């Protein structure tokens, strides 16, 4: 009763679903075609009874074609029954599924058939249940894209005048060129990001009065990263940071007021004043010199506004050497550490930038030279020169020479001394003037500090100490295959992430990293200071145990007895006196 048409391709087994599609479209019974595919099954196999030619549920009911048609219609009606829970029916679902499969034609569809079925059902639901129109989702990505697009818009107003200014000498560094050289060594950000930084720097320059500008590098953080620009202001246009100084002065005044109050209270009994004098605060270097030679601007992402970092204080550098903390990415985040860092993350970032610059900013020898001034060395008392200028007669060395030995590179940033400054300052010179007024209160004389001397400016890298057995720098050419156009690349091992390149007359430094120094040993935080000693016992003041309750009561009782005895005596005397008076 079932036509076995061998010529008809079987839809289930064939690799060409088109024929099945056509079979379906033509209107031949899919049920029939589907079921014809399999041979006789054993009764215990799964699927038994479902599509057995001789054992289908309708077998005994379908003797002739008319009844068969009825059976087929019954089957189709069954398939068309809507589900009570979802409103779908199997017929439509299978139809949609097969349509989707035939449209997309994934490989090995049979393996992912369940997933396809799920996907089709999902799609159904979304269309049916939504009576509201979807509002276009405002993703946060759109806002970020807006900011980035803003970078690319040319500033309005000015027009021709601005063009002239731009084409002339501009402090804007050629970020893409530097990125190209570093890319030869595999260092650097993606080209997109470099270009965005380029434009962000351009924006910075248009806003601030900047003389020189450089892309210093990128420091990674926990929540956000920092992109750092190193700038120098035009001379005379610098905004003096008077805020910090005012704060310090006010603090001093407050201390003065407190002291006055103390003096008033001296008349009352007071515990002995502590003779502890905090070590004098070392003043920061002037803006434009030493560790504060450059001003740094940071932003989290190109497109966001640039924030100026405050100048660095020696105390911050000294503390930053002792702690090791990740940056969070928010400049106002507190730095929780021991020893407590005097400042927030902006100060810590500035201190680390200062340390990295001092440790890793290098240039080919001869590029910078000292400005020729006579008689300088003796006058400065061995403090060393701190200014340099570009050498107009610079002859670049070949890449091979630059890579082979480290004497061909020099530091052009002053070394930071232990004190936290580049130029040593004796903090007690000032305080001696103050102490003249308070001679009486001089308790101890401070120890004389040794003048700290660091390596002078423009020292070659060969003087850099390595760490254990690792040299301080690793030098490599960018490529061994094409030495004619290779670039000399130096990586710092002391500050992992600091790189420098030199190629002909061009060179640059950059930093990409987390902002920490390398140490082969694990970081051990400073231990808290030892517990302070107690007040020494002496003949004047000794410590004794407090009397216990019994002792106190006994003492009280004894005292009362003594009083009572004394009163009795007095009474007796009075009585005697009275008696005497009476007698008289």
Partner 1 sequence: MEAASLPAALELAAGGGAGLSPEKRAVLGASLLLLQRDYRFERVWFWGCIQGVRGSYYIAEGLGPDRAAPRSRLYSLNCVEWSLLPPVTEEMVAQAEQLKGRFQGDPSFEYEHIEINAEDAERLFEDGKEPTIKEEARLVATIEQIDRAVGIIPRGAFVKTPLGSVHENRNFEGLSLTEAKKLSSYFHFTKPFNLKNKTLLEKADLDPSTDFLDSLEHDIPQGSWTVQLEKGDTVVVLRSLLWLGLTFYHVPVTKQYGYIYFGTGEKNFDLPFML
Report the SS3 class of residue 347. helix
Write the interaction track for partner 1 spanning residues 474-493; mark x where CB under 8 A is met and - where it is not.
Answer: x---xxxx---------x-x
- How are beta strands 498-503 and 506-513 bridged, if at all? antiparallel
The least distance separating partner 1 from the CB of residue 81, rounded to whole angstroms, comes to 29
Q: How far is CA 571 from CA 203, 258, 559, 577, 584, in A?
A: 102, 56, 18, 9, 19
- Nearest CB to partner 1, comparing residues 89 and 491: 491
By CB under 8 A, is residue 218 in contact with partner 1?
A: yes
- Nearest CB to partner 1, comparing residues 481 and 541: 481
With b meaning 16 or more CB within 10 Å and e meaning fewer, what string describes 87-115? Answer: ebeebebeebbbebbeeeeeeebeeeeee
The tokens describing 157, both together, are: 């107003």
- Nearest CB to partner 1, comparing residues 285 and 345: 345
- Nearest CB to partner 1, comparing residues 95 and 224: 224
Residue with tokens 């550490």: 337
d(CA 404, CA 171): 33
- Nearest CB to partner 1, comparing residues 482 and 557: 482
Question: Does residue 355 contact residue 317 with C-beta atoms inside 8 Å?
Answer: yes
- How are beta strands 506-513 and 210-219 bridged, if at all? parallel
Q: Which residue among 48, 326, 535, 555 contacts partner 1 (CB under 8 A)? A: 326
Site residue total, partner 1 (CB under 8 A): 56
d(CA 111, CA 328): 47
The least distance separating partner 1 from the CB of residue 18, rounded to whole angstroms, comes to 23
Measure the CA angle with vertex 219, ends 213 and 223; round to 5°.
130
Helix (H) or strand (E) holding 499, with range, is strand 498-503
- Nearest CB to partner 1, comparing residues 33 and 461: 461
- Nearest CB to partner 1, comparing residues 27 and 186: 186
**Chain centre to alpha carbon of residue 9:** 65
Write the interaction track for partner 1 spanning residues 253-292; mark x where CB under 8 A is met and - where it is not.
Answer: ----------------------------------------
Residue partners of 125: CB distance under 8 A and separation at least 6:
86
Q: Which residue among 193, 241, 404, 435 contacts partner 1 (CB under 8 A)? A: 193
By CB under 8 A, is residue 514 in contact with partner 1?
A: yes
By CB under 8 A, is residue 191 in contact with partner 1?
A: yes
By CB under 8 A, is residue 325 in contact with partner 1?
A: yes
By CB under 8 A, is residue 430 in contact with partner 1?
A: no
Site residues for partner 1, window 85-144 (CB under 8 A)?
Answer: 106, 112, 115, 139-141, 143-144
Query: Interface with partner 1 by CB under 8 A: which residues?
Result: 106, 112, 115, 139-141, 143-145, 147-148, 183-193, 217-218, 220-225, 301, 303, 324-326, 468, 470-471, 474, 478-481, 491, 493, 496-497, 512-514, 516, 520-523, 525
């Amino acid at each position: 009763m079932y036509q076995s048409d061998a010529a008809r391709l079987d839809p289930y087994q064939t690799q060409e679903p088109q024929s099945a599609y056509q079979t379906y479209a033509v209107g031949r019974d899919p049920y029939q075609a589907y079921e014809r595919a399999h041979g006789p099954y054993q009764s215990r196999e799964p699927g038994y009874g479902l599509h057995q030619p001789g054992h289908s549920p309708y077998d005994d009911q379908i003797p002739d074609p008319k009844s068969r048609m009825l059976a087929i219609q019954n089957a189709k009606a069954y398939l068309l029954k809507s589900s009570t829970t979802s409103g779908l029916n199997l017929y439509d679902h299978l139809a949609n599924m097969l349509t989707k499969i035939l449209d997309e034609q994934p490989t090995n569809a049979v393996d992912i058939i369940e997933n396809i079925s799920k996907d089709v059902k999902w799609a159904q639901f979304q269309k049916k249940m939504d009576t509201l129109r979807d509002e276009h989702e405002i993703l946060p990505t759109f806002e970020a894209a807006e900011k980035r697009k803003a970078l690319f818009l040319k500033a309005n107003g000015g027009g021709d005048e601005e063009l002239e200014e731009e084409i002339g000498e501009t402090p804007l560094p050629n970020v893409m060129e530097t990125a190209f050289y570093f890319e030869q060594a595999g260092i650097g950000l993606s080209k997109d990001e470099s270009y965005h930084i380029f434009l962000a720097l351009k924006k910075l320059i248009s806003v601030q009065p900047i003389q020189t500008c450089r892309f210093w590098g990128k420091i990674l953080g926990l929540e956000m990263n920092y992109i750092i620009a190193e700038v120098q202001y035009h001379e005379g246009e610098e905004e003096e940071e008077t805020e910090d100084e005012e704060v310090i002065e006010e603090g001093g005044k407050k201390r003065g007021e407190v002291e006055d109050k103390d003096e008033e209270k001296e008349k009352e009994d007071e515990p002995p004043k502590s003779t502890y004098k905090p070590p004098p605060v070392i003043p920061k270097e002037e803006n434009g010199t030493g560790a504060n030679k450059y001003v740094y601007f940071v932003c989290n992402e190109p497109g966001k506004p640039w924030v100026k970092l405050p100048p660095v204080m020696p105390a911050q550098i000294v503390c930053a050497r002792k702690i090791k903390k990740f940056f969070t990415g928010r400049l106002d985040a507190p730095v929780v550490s021991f020893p407590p860092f005097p400042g927030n993350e902006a100060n810590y970032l500035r201190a680390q930038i200062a340390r990295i610059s001092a440790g890793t900013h290098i240039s080919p020898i001869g590029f910078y030279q000292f400005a020729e001034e006579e008689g300088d060395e003796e006058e400065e008392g061995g403090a060393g020169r701190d200014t340099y200028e570009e050498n107009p007669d610079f002859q670049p060395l070949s890449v091979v020479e630059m890579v082979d030995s480290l004497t061909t590179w020099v530091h052009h940033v002053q070394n930071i001394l232990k004190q936290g400054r580049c130029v040593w300052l004796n903090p007690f010179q000032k305080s001696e003037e103050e102490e003249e007024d308070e001679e009486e209160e001089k308790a101890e004389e401070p120890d004389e500090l040794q003048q700290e001397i660091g390596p002078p400016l423009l020292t070659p890298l060969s003087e850099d100490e390595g760490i254990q057995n690792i040299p301080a720098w690793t030098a490599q050419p960018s490529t061994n295959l094409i030495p004619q156009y290779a670039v000399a690349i130096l990586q710092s091992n002391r500050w992992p992430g600091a790189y420098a390149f030199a190629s002909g007359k061009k060179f640059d430094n950059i930093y990409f990293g987390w902002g920490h120094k390398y140490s082969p040993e694990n970081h051990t935080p400073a231990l808290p200071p030892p517990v302070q000693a107690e007040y020494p016992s002496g003949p004047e003041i000794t410590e004794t145990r407090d009397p216990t309750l019994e002792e106190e009561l006994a003492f009280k009782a004894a005292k009362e007895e003594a009083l009572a005895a004394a009163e009795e005596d007095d009474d007796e005397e009075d009585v005697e006196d009275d008696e005497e008076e009476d007698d008289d």
